[in-house]
């Protein structure tokens, strides 16, 4: 029952609405007592020959009024109680979503997207059941159960009532025990279904690899096994599910048997009338639901409580990226002083970066090159405050980047990541993602600078072409250039290209870079790349190896140095020449 206390913040907020809902439930419970009683009275009138068309019309009118009132009050409680439940679901869903958007990388490494989706669907459903079904079953079981019991005792006969309800608690126990088993088996069935879903998704996504490695047969076999498993698990669910009805019938049968036995005796001894007996039999039928509901209530509470535990655990997780009190809100600009003494990824003992120091003047370009896994992206991630825990300090415009609000820092950095991501919308909206109200001219200007404008015009619907999951397939280079345009349009103080030109040819790369250089004369740019041609025009280039800077200088200085940079440059020039000859 403790879940009701934990959710009291919501119940209190919706107090009026819940009270109206529960009041309507009680009114319905009272109104439900009328029809059986009237049937009893009419039976008695028939038996004693005192029935007249006038009295029959009177009783029928009462029946009609009670039915109408039940209709109205049922509508009210449904709207109130289920409406509130949906509101709770919406409120907690918002809390969860806001929380997710504020979390850091560590959180998303700990919880897989699938887990988070499951919490945001199944656990919220569990919670909705408490606020809707839970409140309903509790209030209804108590009001219908009590009013019916009292009516049986005082309107008909208390001795008969005691005997008739004797087997009924068994209903509550059965519904609790079977419900629990059903829940466990249902969870197993769901899990095997999720597993099957994952498998199908993976196979379809990897269909090309599957075929090239000739693994279709094995894959189909595995699919067959998993579907058989799903069927087997569902059979176990139905086995329990089909025990419910016979159990209810059996228990009710015992109750009716005892009622008829004792009720018959009471009639022969003139203790109760036949009409009373008919009323009574109807009332017993009305007790099935409350008894059943009590058992169900325990299951709802158990599930809801476990769901709320999981949701609260998620909400309790804290992001390690926190804004300090009184953070600077003025947008970053100025010179950058980057110094990392030591940085390791969370829960990783390896030192990923050490003694990385560089200065970058406003308006200059920095190039970062190095072998794969050297630490280029990690340097950029620290600049973007994806991780705050390192020894050292990064100053931007004379202040530690951790002293800015996240908005003041991130809104003014245009980051084009390695694995570019396009949203499922039009190309135009992907480019003006930061501000959907930007006019077409600005979108086109950004696209021209990113050298993608002509490609876009050649697509079936131009700028209106849908991209993303269900859109047209774009080449890797086209996606990269759209991502660059998306960043250009924001005219960021600092633009970071993280290997963002790897899939475009050398000529296009040159045209984009020279365009950017011209447009961004007063702004700062960082380019991390494998290709030396991407960085050779930068004011300073650093070569990163094993998490630290091993060479630095301008292109000419680095060539003179005769180290890794020079070797790489020669090698890439040779490759380019050979490619040119091939063409
Ligand atoms: N989230 C993470 N947790 C732990 N280690 C990580 C994480 N991300 C990267 N690393 C490790 O940090 C090191 C540097 O990776 P980083 O991505 O910075 O290299 P890179 O120079 O950008 O490589 P590439 O050119 O291939 O992108 C690698 O050894 C990598 O395995």
Per-residue pLDDT of 225-234, as tens digits, reads 999 998 999 8
- What the block records as the tokens of 420 is 């570019």
Q: Which atom of ligand 1 is nearest to the CA of 105?
A: 1
- What the block records as the tokens of 87 is 């509101």
Q: Is the pLDDT of residue 120 over 90?
A: no
Per-residue pLDDT band for 238 (boundaries 50, 70, 90) equals confident
- Which of 354, 374, 498, when mutated, tests ligand 1's pocket best, judged by the most ligand atoms within 8 Å of its CB? 374
Reported as type and span, the H/E element at residue 498 is: strand 494-498
- Mean pLDDT (the chain) is 88
Distance (Å, whole) CA 85 – CA 304: 12
* Residue 323: CB atoms within 10 Å: 17
- Report pLDDT for 552: 92
- What the block records as the tokens of 272 is 């109760």
Q: Is the CB of 346 under 6 A from ligand 1?
A: no
Q: Is the CB of 145 under 6 A from ligand 1?
A: no
Q: Which atom of ligand 1 is nearest to the CA of 418?
A: 27
Atom 18 of ligand 1 has which residue's CA nearest to it? 375
Percent of the chain's residues with pLDDT above 70? 98
Q: What is the pLDDT of residues 402-442, one digit of tens each?
A: 999 988 899 889 999 888 888 888 999 999 998 999 999 99
Name the residue among 172, 164, 150 with its Cα closest to residue 33. Answer: 150
Distance (Å, whole) CA 180 – CA 296: 9
Per-residue pLDDT band for 92 (boundaries 50, 70, 90) equals very high
Name the residue among 390, 358, 405, 367 with its Cα closest to residue 536. Answer: 367
Distance (Å, whole) CA 324 – CA 366: 29
Q: What is the pLDDT of residues 466-518, one digit of tens each?
A: 887 666 788 889 999 999 999 999 999 999 999 998 888 888 888 999 899 88
Cβ 167 vs Cβ 251: under 8 Å = yes
- Report pLDDT for 61: 94
Q: Which residue has the tokens 């650093």?
A: 542
Name the residue among 165, 158, 145 with its Cα closest to residue 254. Answer: 165
Q: What is the pLDDT of residues 16-65, one digit of tens each?
A: 999 999 999 889 989 988 998 899 999 989 988 888 889 999 999 999 99
- What the block records as the tokens of 31 is 């109104």
How far is the centre of ligand 1, averaged over its atoms, from the C-alpha of 377 (Å)? 7
Q: Is the pLDDT of residue 575 over 90?
A: no
Cα separations in angstroms, 434 against 210, 361, 428, 486, 525? 39, 26, 11, 8, 19
Distance (Å, whole) CA 333 – CA 397: 5
Q: Is the CB of 430 under 6 A from ligand 1?
A: no
Name the residue among 436, 416, 412, 417 with its Cα closest to residue 426. Answer: 436
Estimate the crossing angle of helix 274-316 against helix 34-47, to 10 degrees: 170
Q: Is the CB of 345 under 6 A from ligand 1?
A: yes
Distance (Å, whole) CA 554 – CA 542: 9
Domains of the chain are: 2-316 (1.20.1560.10), 327-412+493-583 (3.40.50.300), 419-491 (3.40.50.300)
HEC string of 136-188? HHHHHHHHHHHHHHHHHHHHHCHHHHHHHHCCCHHHHHHHHHHHHHHHHHHHH
Q: Is the CB of 375 under 6 A from ligand 1?
A: yes
- Report pLDDT for 281: 87
How far is the centre of ligand 1, averaged over its atoms, from the C-alpha of 528 (Å)? 13
In order, the DSSP letters of 416-436 are: E-SS----SSBHHHHHTTT-T
- Report pLDDT for 454: 93
Q: Is the pLDDT of residue 450 over 60?
A: yes
Atom 2 of ligand 1 has which residue's CA nearest to it? 345
Cα separations in angstroms, 355 against 264, 341, 342? 96, 4, 6
How far is the centre of ligand 1, averaged over its atoms, from the C-alpha of 105 (Å)? 14
The length of the chain in residues reads: 583
Higher pLDDT, 324 or 582: 324
Q: Is the CB of 226 under 6 A from ligand 1?
A: no
Q: Mean pLDDT throughout 385-403?
A: 92
- Report pLDDT for 17: 92
Per-residue pLDDT band for 353 (boundaries 50, 70, 90) equals very high
Percent of the chain's residues with pLDDT above 90? 44
Atom 6 of ligand 1 has which residue's CA nearest to it? 345
DSSP tag of 464: G
- Report pLDDT for 190: 76
Q: Is the pLDDT of residue 523 over 80?
A: yes
- Which of 377, 381, 386, 500, when mutated, tests ligand 1's pocket best, judged by the most ligand atoms within 8 Å of its CB? 377
Atom 3 of ligand 1 has which residue's CA nearest to it? 345
How far is the centre of ligand 1, averaged over its atoms, from the C-alpha of 347 (Å)? 14
Distance (Å, whole) CA 148 – CA 135: 19
- The gap from C-alpha 136 to its chain's centroid, in whole angstroms, comes to 27
Cβ 336 vs Cβ 524: under 8 Å = yes
Beta-strand pair 399-400/391-396: antiparallel
* Residue 188: CB atoms within 10 Å: 16
Burial of residue 441, with CB atoms counted within 10 A of its CB: 0-12 exposed, 13-18 middle, 19 or more buried: exposed
Q: Is the CB of 377 under 6 A from ligand 1?
A: yes
Reported as type and span, the H/E element at residue 211 is: helix 207-212
Per-residue pLDDT band for 325 (boundaries 50, 70, 90) equals confident
Atom 9 of ligand 1 has which residue's CA nearest to it? 378
Distance (Å, whole) CA 32 – CA 146: 12
Distance (Å, whole) CA 153 – CA 147: 10
Q: What is the dihedral of CA 275, 277, 278, 281, to 10 degrees?
A: 160
- Report pLDDT for 204: 85
Per-residue pLDDT band for 583 (boundaries 50, 70, 90) equals low
How far is the centre of ligand 1, averaged over its atoms, from the C-alpha of 415 (Å)? 17
Distance (Å, whole) CA 501 – CA 479: 10
ipTM: 0.95
Beta-strand pair 399-400/548-553: unpaired
Name the residue among 334, 339, 362 with its Cα closest to residue 539. Answer: 362
How far is the centre of ligand 1, averaged over its atoms, from the C-alpha of 373 (Å)? 5
Residue 270, helix vs strand vs coil: coil
* Residue 379: CB atoms within 10 Å: 29
């Amino acid at each position: 029952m403790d879940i009701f206390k934990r959710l009291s913040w919501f119940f209190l907020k919706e107090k009026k609405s819940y009270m109206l809902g529960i009041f309507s439930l009680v009114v319905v419970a009272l109104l439900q007592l009328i029809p059986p009683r009237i049937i009893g009275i009419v039976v008695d009138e028939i038996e004693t020959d005192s029935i007249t068309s006038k009295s029959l019309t009177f009783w029928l009118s009462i029946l009609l009024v009670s039915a109408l009132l039940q209709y109205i009050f049922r509508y009210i409680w449904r709207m109130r109680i289920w409406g509130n439940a949906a509101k709770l679901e919406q409120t907690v869903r918002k809390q969860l979503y806001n929380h997710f958007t504020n979390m850091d990388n560590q959180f998303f490494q700990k919880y897989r997207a699938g887990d988070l989706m499951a919490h945001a669907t199944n656990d919220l459903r569990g919670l909705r059941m408490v606020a809707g079904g839970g409140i309903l079953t509790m209030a209804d079981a108590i009001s219908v159960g009590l009013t019916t019991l009292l009516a049986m005792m005082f309107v008909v006969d208390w001795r008969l009532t005691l005997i008739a309800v004797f087997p009924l608690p068994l209903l509550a126990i059965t519904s609790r025990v079977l419900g629990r088993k059903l829940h466990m088996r249902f969870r197993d069935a769901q899990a095997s279904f999720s597993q099957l879903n994952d498998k199908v998704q993976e196979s379809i996504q990897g269909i090309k690899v599957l075929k090239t490695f000739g693994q279709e047969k094995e894959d189909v076999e595995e699919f067959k096994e998993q579907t058989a498993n799903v069927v087997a698990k569902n059979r176990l669910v139905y086995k329990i599910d089909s025990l419910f009805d016979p159990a209810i019938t059996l228990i009710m049968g015992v109750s009716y048997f005892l009622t008829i036995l004792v009720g018959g005796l009471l009639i022969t001894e003139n203790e109760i009338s036949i009409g009373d007996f008919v009323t009574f039999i109807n009332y017993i039928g009305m007790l099935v639901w409350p008894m059943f509901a009590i058992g169900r209530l325990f299951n709802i509470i158990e599930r809801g409580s476990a769901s709320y535990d999981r949701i609260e655990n998620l909400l309790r997780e804290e992001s390690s990226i926190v804004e300090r009190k009184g953070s600077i809100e003025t947008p970053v600009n100025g010179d950058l002083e980057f110094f990392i003494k030591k940085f390791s990824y969370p829960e990783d003992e390896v030192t990923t970066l050490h003694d990385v120091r560089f200065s970058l003047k406003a308006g200059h370009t920095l190039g970062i090159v190095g072998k794969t896994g050297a630490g280029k992206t990690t340097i950029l991630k620290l600049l973007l405050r994806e991780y705050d825990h390192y020894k050292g300090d990064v100053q931007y415009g004379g202040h530690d980047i951790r002293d800015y609000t996240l908005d003041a820092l991130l809104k003014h950095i245009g980051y084009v990541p390695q694995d570019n991501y396009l949203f499922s919308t039009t190309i135009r909206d992907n480019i003006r993602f930061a501000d959907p109200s930007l006019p077409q001219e600005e979108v086109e200007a950004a696209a021209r600078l990113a050298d993608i404008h002509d490609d876009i015009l050649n697509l079936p619907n131009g700028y209106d072409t849908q991209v993303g999951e269900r859109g047209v397939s774009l080449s890797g280079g086209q996606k990269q250039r759209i991502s660059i345009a998306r960043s250009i349009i924001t005219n960021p103080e600092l633009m970071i290209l993280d290997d963002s030109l790897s899939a475009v040819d050398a000529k296009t790369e040159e045209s984009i870079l020279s365009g950017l250089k011209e447009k961004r004369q007063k702004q700062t740019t960082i380019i991390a790349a494998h290709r030396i041609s991407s960085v050779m025009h930068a004011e300073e280039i650093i070569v990163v190896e094993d998490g630290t800077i091993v060479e630095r200088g301008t292109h000419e200085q680095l060539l003179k140095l005769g180290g890794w940079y020079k070797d790489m440059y020669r090698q890439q020039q040779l490759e380019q020449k050979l490619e040119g000859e091939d063409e």
